[in-house]
């Protein structure tokens, strides 16, 4: 099975939450991690900066590069990719983790929120992958991983938050199309989504600490991501993975260690309930 040691992993939105956890997990494998995110200075409401994250990844055993990057801006993506290549010599993995969320109905969704979600989720994912692809195509075992849900056109997932669902499914449609487009060129393109809610800052929109008690830690997604990224790219593409299924396939039988509050009933995440 391929190793991540010495590989360069470019992760968007890696200053906190799931993206940061994936970066730390990759660093433990000996990877070089590019922390591409907006927060270069402490945020008044949210913990973590790109520099804090890079320091943690270095302590975990890898090398890390913090790059301030708003993936709505093509020039910033290009600069981040150039910085990554200048520092590490190439890019082996692109993890599209950055995402914007606003859960509301049609009448309650300001167009600026629509623009943000589609600019970050769908457009940002496409633009970041596009910028990384010239380097991925030169890599030995190239992977693109989207943190996005399985495609399911049941009206229940659209009715209460049509704008957000469309934006997240835009990321998943990138998986569907790009996996097939680059199948013969050896670039794996997959999606990963959690079975349960994950205790991150974004969870404040879904009930905060009380909801978090019924969720799991970001490390479950991170460990599943590493398992996917270590697989052979040519034989592992076009999949919509769920974190606990990936880990069970790897022989992990104890998922209780990932629970925020062991013994509490787990709450399914959006798109899987």
> Residue 239: which of 192, 187, 273, 182 has the closest Cα?
192
164 is catalytic: yes
Maximum pairwise Cα distance, the chain = 50
Q: Is pLDDT at 205 greater than 60 in this prediction?
A: no
Interacting residues of 140 by C-beta distance below 8 A, sequence separation 6+: 2, 92
Question: What number is the average pLDDT over the span 40-65?
Answer: 89
Backbone angles phi, psi at 143, to 5 degrees: -130, 145
Q: Give the other-Cβ count within 10 Å of 137's Cβ.
A: 12
- pLDDT > 90 fraction of the chain, expressed in percent and rounded: 86
> pLDDT tens-digit profile of 32-46?
999 999 988 877 666
Residue position matching structure tokens 């590019």: 34
> What span, in angstroms and rounded, lies between the C-alpha atoms of 246 and 228?
8
E strands, the chain, where? 8-12, 32-37, 63-68, 93-96, 143-146, 188-193, 240-242
pLDDT class for 208, splitting at 50, 70, 90? Answer: low
Q: For the chain, give me the number of helices (H) and strands (E)?
A: 10, 7
What is the per-residue pLDDT across 150-161, written as a single tens digit (0 to 9) for each?
999 999 999 999
Domain ranges of the chain: 8-258
What pLDDT does residue 2 have? 82
Tokens of 188: 């794996």
Provide Rg for the chain, Cα atoms: 17
pLDDT tops 90 at residue 248: yes
pLDDT confidence of residue 169: 98
Residue 249: how many CA atoms within 13 Å on its side-chain side? 12
Query: Closest by alpha carbon to 174, among 153, 204, 149, 194?
Result: 149
User: Coil, helix or strand for 20?
Assistant: helix
Of the listed 164, 169, 193, 258, which one is catalytic?
164
Residue 177 CA to residue 121 CA, distance in Å, equals 16
Three-state SS at 66 = strand
CATH fold of 8-258 reads Rossmann fold (3.40.50)
Name 226's Cβ contacts closer than 8 Å, sequence gap at least 6: 4, 22, 25, 26, 29
Spatial distance between the Cα atoms of 1 and 71, rounded to a whole number of angstroms? 32
Crossing angle for the helix pair 17-28 and 219-229, to the nearest 10 degrees? 50
Evaluated on CA atoms 50, 52, 53, 59, the torsion sign reads: positive
């Amino acid at each position: 099975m391929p190793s991540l040691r010495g590989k360069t992993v470019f992760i968007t939105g890696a200053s906190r939450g799931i993206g940061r956890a994936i970066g730390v997990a990759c660093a433990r494998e000996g990877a070089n991690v590019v922390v591409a995110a907006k927060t270069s200075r402490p945020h008044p409401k949210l913990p973590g900066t790109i520099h804090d994250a890079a320091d943690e990844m270095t302590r975990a055993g890898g090398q890390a590069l913090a790059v301030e990057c708003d993936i709505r801006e093509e020039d910033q993506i290009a600069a981040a990719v150039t910085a990554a290549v200048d520092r590490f010599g190439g890019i082996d993995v692109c993890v599209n983790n950055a995402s914007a969320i606003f859960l509301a109905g049609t009448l309650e969704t300001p167009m600026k929120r629509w623009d943000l979600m589609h600019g970050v989720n769908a457009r940002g994912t496409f633009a970041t992958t596009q910028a990384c692809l010239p380097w991925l195509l030169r890599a030995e075992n190239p992977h693109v991983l989207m943190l996005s849900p399985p495609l399911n056109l049941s009206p229940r997932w659209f009715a209460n938050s049509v704008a957000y669902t469309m934006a997240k499914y835009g990321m998943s449609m990138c998986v569907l199309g790009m996996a097939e487009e680059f199948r013969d060129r050896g670039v794996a393109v997959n999606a990963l989504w959690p079975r349960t809610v994950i205790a991150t800052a974004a969870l404040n929109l879904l009930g905060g600490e009380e909801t978090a008690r019924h969720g799991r830690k970001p490390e479950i997604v991170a460990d599943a991501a590493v398992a996917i990224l270590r697989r052979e790219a040519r034989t592992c593409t076009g999949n919509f993975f769920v974190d606990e299924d990936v880990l069970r396939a790897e022989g992990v039988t104890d998922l209780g260690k990932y629970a925020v509050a062991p013994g509490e009933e787990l709450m399914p995440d959006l798109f899987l309930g």
